[in-house]
Amino acid sequence: MKKKFIFFIFYFLFLVPLNSNDNKTELLEIYKNLRCLVCQGQSIADSNSDFAATVKLVVQDQIKEGKTKDEVYTFLISKYGEWIVYQPTFSKGNLLLWIMPYFIFIVGGLIIFLIIRKSKSIKAN
Amino acid sequence: MKINILKIIIFSFVIFSLSVFWLGLKIDNNYDTKSLIGSKISNFQLTEINNNNQHISNEYLKKNKYTLINFFASWCAPCRAEHRYLLSLSSKNKKIKIIGINFKDKKINANNFLKELGNPYDFVGQDTDGKISISFGIYGIPESILVNNELTVIKKIIGPIDQTQFDDVLKIIQ
Amino acid sequence: MLSNIGISLVVLIIILSFLIIYIAILDLKTSNQFIKKNIYKLSLFQITFTVLCFFTLIIGFINSDFSLINVYENSHTTKPFFYKIAGTWGNHEGSLLLWVNILVIFSYLFLIFNHSHDKKFRLYTLIFQNILILGFLFFLLLNSNPFNSIYPIPLEGLGLNPILQDPALAIHPPLLYVGFVGCSIYFSAAMASLISGYSGKLFAQSIKTWVKISWCFQTLGIIVGSIWAYYELGWGGFWFWDPVENASLLPWFAITALMHSLIVLEKRNALYYWVIILCLSTFILSVTGTFLVRSGILNSVHTFASDPSRGIYILLFLSLMIFSALTIFFKKYKKETYIFNLKSRETFILANNWFMVFFLLTVLIGILYPIFLDVLTNVKISVGPPFFNIVIIPLVVPLMFLMAIGPKFGWIKSQNKMFHKILLLILGAIIINLLIFYFFGKYSFLSNSIFIAAIFLILYSLLDIKKIFNNKNKMELPRIISHLSFGLLVFFIGINHQFSLEEDFNLKVGEIKKTNDYEINFEDIKIKENKNYKAVIGNFRLTNLKNNLAQYLEPEIRIYSNPETLTYEAAIKTKITSDLYLTMSNVSRSDYYNIKFQKKPFMIWIWISALMITLGGFMQLTLKKNED
């Protein structure tokens, strides 16, 4: 009975297809990931500055040409530096950044696991 | 024993972090694109502002030892302030060519601007919608880039050229 | 004159604080069971003068007394009365005075409400708290003095920033500071507990009300800040993972973890040293957050104007706090053994702490990594919303499952009876999730998991509420409401995120834009002259193409003359089912206007759920009083 339920759950979770992206939401997603260089902490999507307007045009052109959003990011990073994207790149320099949180999570789980196990052995004695 | 190791780790980490904070107070946290010095100019295409049949591209840069690419506009006040340095560079030197890129402007206004203040440019291109500026890594007006014949960016001047930067450029092109 | 009064009061409070520390130290040595009456009297004087000092500054603002530099820089004669008062704490120096007030008020309240607790413990708490108070007072007096005077006295002030004149923004700092600074008292209490040895259940009882109070206000402060950002800043969002926002979130995670661990300390006398670590960390995080935000080390929309000397002082203070806390902690630490069963409430509370610490450290890493990278390698990167969303959101899924079933486990040991109930509810959650997506059509594995987990938490909590009404045991109600509301919050944020419509386009007056669901007609522009600004008001007619209903939205561009600023006021129509959001900005040197249009489903329910989380917290405070 238990096993059937668990199978049931996973069947439904995996059955549903993954996100289908349409162009317009992709554009907005890119705008939100780009940092406005002349503003204090705003994305290209939120900024009303001249620079933001120009970048939007360039991004629109590139998407129309068929480039992927990663190619757009790489292009802008080559012109403006990594600072312009809000999502840190998965490069060697940023490895620590992406790995540390999950590492901490695993360590935390390990600590709790060890406490429980030790409790069991204390009770057994 | 374990506690002692933990103590050492934690104290070291705290001292390290506080030192980083201390150093962080000293550095300038305003971002500029000066770190892009050393990168290469990608291919571009510019049409002369008064002559639709005249074009230049990367090839033009390869022919000159040094080229200064200056983004300007008639509606930009600091551009007026820096203009005399551009005139000075163009008249003094055969070693450097100056390209002017008129940014988000009207042709007639640009021409009047150059008539009034003088034309230091060997070529004036038009960037009506601003898109060309993005491929040069520009984010404000005025901005100037000094490139060599290998298409490498040697210097970036963000904002109007002042006396110090003018002297720097002269030093480089000698 | 006010300047002299203010500074004299500050000096008086400093003297009083020294006196309190001195007499408390003396009193520690006596064997008398009761705290000397003098200490109560001195504390009463201290709180009186501190509040008077704050009122002095407020009077300066109300009277537009520009002989005070602080009033000159941050106020203006034409500012409305309410905002003149709010201007008192809307700047660095004034807010520091508010910090001191809260430190002193909490110190006094802790003293008089904890009669039943150990004398040495209370005295040590008082001593440590007053050391903190002195630290802030010296900072205020020597570096950030709101009572500094200026001569000749200017005729008019500089401070008329229109963005700061908003009711939500006016109450947001005081609310948040009660949270941020309120946790100072249990920092001091933790230090006192380590030194005096007053630990365990009694210690938990002495601080638990203060932890709950600071939690409620911190939560409320953060929510009000988000509401303000949504209505005022014009980008339709309410959380940007901006460093200042993150700085307020760090203590929140710690206080939430602490609140839960205190339950274990009280009921089972376990996790004492972990509770101490949390108590010490919370205030340390508050001060770290203050450092990051006010020193100028970070680049953000919200930063106060920065001044490097501030940063140096706060860093010094922070370092002293951390080192003394670490030293005393390690000196007094004794190994504890816990006996926890897997299927017990203690373990689930540990799990809560595990998640909270994970979220806390993730946000901390996100804030600090760019700073460290810049200082050590001179490379500047940005760590923004995508990082935090990617790392944190997936783990909210298991958190919500644990939130539902955790509280159902008994203390020490529990049976397996609930397993079928859990599975049935998961099934129900999946069905509801499928219905939503079948009718409205968007899917992804992550969003499915989030919705299923949220709905599960909601259903489970609703069942719990039904049980309470059946057997009239109201003890669990506040907790259920907070957990239920958290589920609702995640649910509505999820719906909002998945089903929002957003458009960004340029239009000239008279033009029409058609999208799949709406027709936006830019009918005209009118210009209105107001008292201190000129407004360019756009008249937009929005037609919902599905039901042909039209409504008008009027976003504005406001041009202020003093100081010269431009603001963009969004036109927001809030309804039960969704919000319509329209902003307009002019494209330089052209007749075009850049229009951003958003339809945000169930937006108001996000605020309602968030406020209900706080409600649960406040209910806990009042309910417990009846029990005792």
Does B3 contact C at CB distance below 8 Å?
yes
- The three-class DSSP label of residue A34 is strand
Question: Which residues, including other chains, have CB under 8 Å from residue B137's CB and lie 6 or more apart?
Answer: A79, A80, B33, B36, B39, B145, B156
C215/C290 Cα distance (integer angstroms): 18
CB-CB: which of A51, A57, A80 is closest to B129?
A57
Q: Give contacts of A86 with chain C, Cβ < 8 Å.
A: 382-387
Does C351 contact B at CB distance below 8 Å?
no
Contact B137 A53 (CB under 8 A): no
Give the closest-approach CA distance of A71 to chain C in angstroms. Answer: 17
Element (H, E) at C513: strand C512-514
Question: Which residues, including other chains, have CB under 8 Å from residue C313's CB and lie 6 or more apart?
Answer: C139, C142, C143
CB-CB: which of B3, B18, B75 is closest to C319?
B18
Report the pLDDT value the prediction gives residue C625, as an integer from 0 to 100.
56
C388/C366 Cα distance (integer angstroms): 7
Alpha-carbon distances of A20 from A26, A69, C185, C442, rounded to whole Å: 10, 15, 51, 8
* Residue to test with chain B: of C319, C323, C334, C590, most B Cβ within 10 A: C319
Is residue C556's pLDDT more than 60?
yes
Bridge-partner residues for C210, per DSSP?
none
Contact B27 C374 (CB under 8 A): yes
pLDDT band for C111, please (50, 70, 90 cuts): very high
Is residue C105's pLDDT more than 70?
yes
- Contact assessment for residue C500 and residue C517, using Cβ atoms and an 8 Å cutoff: no
C417/B89 Cα distance (integer angstroms): 86
Please tell me whether the peptide bond between C162 and the residue prior to it is cis, using omega within 30 degrees of 0: no
Q: Give contacts of B30 with chain C, Cβ < 8 Å.
A: 299
Alpha-carbon distances of C536 from C398, C533, C567, rounded to whole Å: 49, 10, 11
Question: Which residues, including other chains, have CB under 8 Å from residue C408's CB and lie 6 or more apart?
Answer: C414, C418
> Chain A: residue nearest C588 by CA?
A50
> Chain A: residue nearest B132 by CA?
A58
Cβ under 8 Å to A: C residues 572-591 = 585, 587-588
Amino acid at B137: G
Encode pLDDT of C1-49 as tens digits. 889 999 999 999 999 999 999 999 999 888 877 778 889 999 999 999 9
C285/C296 Cα distance (integer angstroms): 17
> Chain C: residue nearest B17 by CA?
C372
Buried b vs exposed e over C566-576: b needs ≥16 C-beta within 10 Å? ebbbbbbeeee
* Residue to test with chain C: of A4, A12, A90, most C Cβ within 10 A: A12
Report the pLDDT value the prediction gives residue C598, as an integer from 0 to 100.
92
Report the pLDDT value the prediction gives residue A2, as an integer from 0 to 100.
57
Does A86 contact B at CB distance below 8 Å?
no
Amino acid at C137: L
HSE of C293 in the Cβ direction (CA atoms, 13 Å)?
A: 21
Secondary structure string (H, E, C) spanning chain B: CHHHHHHHHHHHHHHHHHHHHHHHHHCCCCCCHHHHCCCECCCCEEEECCEEEEEEEHHHHHHCCEEEEEEECCCCHHHHHHHHHHHHHHHHCCCEEEEEEEECCCHHHHHHHHHHHCCCCCEEEEECCCHHHHHCCCCCCCEEEEEECCCEEEEEEECCCCHHHHHHHHHHHC
The structure tokens 């957990």 sit at: C483
What does pTM read for this prediction? Answer: 0.92
- Contact assessment for residue B110 and residue B49, using Cβ atoms and an 8 Å cutoff: yes
Token pair recorded at residue C558: 């406001």
Is residue B70's pLDDT more than 70?
yes
User: Which of the residues in chain A have pLDDT under 70?
Assistant: 1-24
Give the closest-approach CA distance of A22 to chain B in angstroms. Answer: 24
> Chain B: residue nearest A83 by CA?
B31
Amino acid at B63: K
Give the closest-approach CA distance of A52 to chain C in angstroms. Answer: 11
Is residue C445's pLDDT more than 70?
yes
Secondary structure string (H, E, C) spanning C207-220: HHHHHHHHHHHHHH
CB-CB: which of B10, B20, B21 is closest to C326?
B10
Contact B134 A81 (CB under 8 A): no
CB-CB: which of B134, B135, B140 is closest to A38?
B140
Q: What percent of chain C has pLDDT over 90?
A: 61
Does C381 contact A at CB distance below 8 Å?
yes
B94/B72 Cα distance (integer angstroms): 22
C608/C606 Cα distance (integer angstroms): 5
Encode pLDDT of C394-423 as tens digits. 899 999 989 988 887 877 666 656 666 776
Does C417 contact B at CB distance below 8 Å?
no
Report the pLDDT value the prediction gives residue A18, as an integer from 0 to 100.
39
C584/A48 Cα distance (integer angstroms): 9
Does A100 contact B at CB distance below 8 Å?
no
Report the pLDDT value the prediction gives residue A4, as an integer from 0 to 100.
61
The structure tokens 């919705």 sit at: C451
Q: What is the CA radius of gyration of chain C?
A: 27
Domains of chain B: 33-173 (3.40.30.10)
* Residue to test with chain C: of B4, B21, B105, B127, most C Cβ within 10 A: B21
Q: Give contacts of B129 with chain A, Cβ < 8 Å.
A: 54, 57
- Residue C528's φ and ψ, nearest 5 degrees, are -130, 130
Amino acid at C207: I
Give the closest-approach CA distance of C598 to chain A in angstroms. Answer: 12
- Contact assessment for residue C345 and residue C271, using Cβ atoms and an 8 Å cutoff: no
Encode pLDDT of C139-191 as tens digits. 999 999 999 998 888 888 887 677 778 888 889 999 999 999 999 999 999 99
| Least trusted range by pLDDT, from A93-102, A113-122, C99-108, C604-613 | A113-122
C447/C449 Cα distance (integer angstroms): 5
Question: Which residues, including other chains, have CB under 8 Å from residue A52's CB and lie 6 or more apart?
Answer: A36, A39, A42, A44
A61/C76 Cα distance (integer angstroms): 48
Interface B-C: count of C-beta contacts within 8 A? 49
- Residue C378's φ and ψ, nearest 5 degrees, are 60, 20
Alpha-carbon distances of B50 from B47, B53, B124, rounded to whole Å: 9, 9, 8
Contact C387 A86 (CB under 8 A): yes
Token pair recorded at residue C215: 């939690």
Question: Subunits that touch chain A (at least 3 Cβ pairs < 8 angstroms)?
Answer: B, C
CB-CB: which of A2, A9, A41 is closest to C242?
A41
Q: Give contacts of A78 with chain B, Cβ < 8 Å.
A: 39
Encode pLDDT of C280-330 as tens digits. 999 999 999 989 888 888 866 555 556 778 889 999 999 999 999 999 999
Question: Subunits that touch chain B (at least 3 Cβ pairs < 8 angstroms)?
Answer: A, C
Contact A51 B35 (CB under 8 A): no
Nearest in space to C102 (alpha carbons), one of C194, C218, C205: C218
**Domain boundaries along the sequence of chain C:** 1-165, 176-392, 393-498, 501-604
Give the closest-approach CA distance of A112 to chain C in angstroms. Answer: 7
Give the closest-approach CA distance of C12 to chain A in angstroms. Answer: 41
Contact B140 A51 (CB under 8 A): yes
- Contact assessment for residue C363 and residue C250, using Cβ atoms and an 8 Å cutoff: yes
Residues in chain C: 628
Is residue C262's pLDDT more than 50?
yes
Amino acid at C195: I
- Contact assessment for residue B100 and residue B72, using Cβ atoms and an 8 Å cutoff: yes
Cβ under 8 Å to C: A residues 8-37 = 8-9, 12-14, 16-20, 24-25, 28, 31-33, 35
The mean pLDDT of B150-164, rounded to a whole number, is 91
Contact A54 B39 (CB under 8 A): no
Contact C375 B35 (CB under 8 A): no
Does B166 contact C at CB distance below 8 Å?
no
Bridge-partner residues for C583, per DSSP?
C596
Contact C372 B75 (CB under 8 A): no
Does B52 contact C at CB distance below 8 Å?
no
Alpha-carbon distances of A99 from A104, A105, C391, C508, C529, rounded to whole Å: 9, 10, 10, 48, 55
Report the pLDDT value the prediction gives residue A101, as an integer from 0 to 100.
94
